[in-house]
Amino acid sequence: MLVHCTTACTQPSDEATKPPVEKGQETGAEKPGRNPLNADTRLVMAFGDSLYAGYNVKQDESFPSQLEKALSAKGMNVQVHNAGVSGDTTAAGLQRLAFALDGLPRKPDLVILGLGGNDMLRGISPDQTESNLEAMLQELQKRDIPVVLTGMIAAPNLGQDYARKFNPIYAKLAEKYDAELYPFFLDGVITDKALMLPDGIHPNPKGIAKVVAGIDDIVADELKG
């Protein structure tokens, strides 16, 4: 059972407006001096909230950075672009998805999509969360970009009715849009204090490493396919 909220957000605000975020943590900054993409380099965009952006960890300890290292250790030539924005709801993500895709050097070979946790923390209607996620999946499908969807689970304090509506969203959409699914981004992490930051919400570098260990084979298989 989850003891804390299952993803990061700043203070609640209107879903259509970006909430205030800590300086230097609003986006996942890319590494300076990164090698340019080669023709055989696989490009992945990690598009999510602060769990992707790297809240309160060094950028080389963030989820996209650790995932890139894990894939490289498997012998893959991959760049994982950090497109995480702290505090993003699905509505905010939908607003910036096309811009983020168009800002890449070329069409990515894969998008890892992880949004919805901040919707849950704010009690936004699961119907709206599902609608926004579906619109993003439609945009990616239109661009012929494969997707790995990382899911969230509703915090217990929101009640069983909310959980019954929220929790099935990711599996339902993954099946509908033929996306690979990692059902719960913080699986086996959020219940272990040794893997979490003191806020009990965000994973520390060791926690991120455990997330990566759970998802890297899924990502590798998608890229090989």
Catalytic positions are 50, 199, 202
Asked if 108 and 71 count as a contact pair (C-beta separation under 8 A), the reply is no
Which string of b and e fits 149-187 if b means at least 16 CB within 10 Å? bbbbbbbeebeeebbebbbebbeebbeebebbbbebbbb
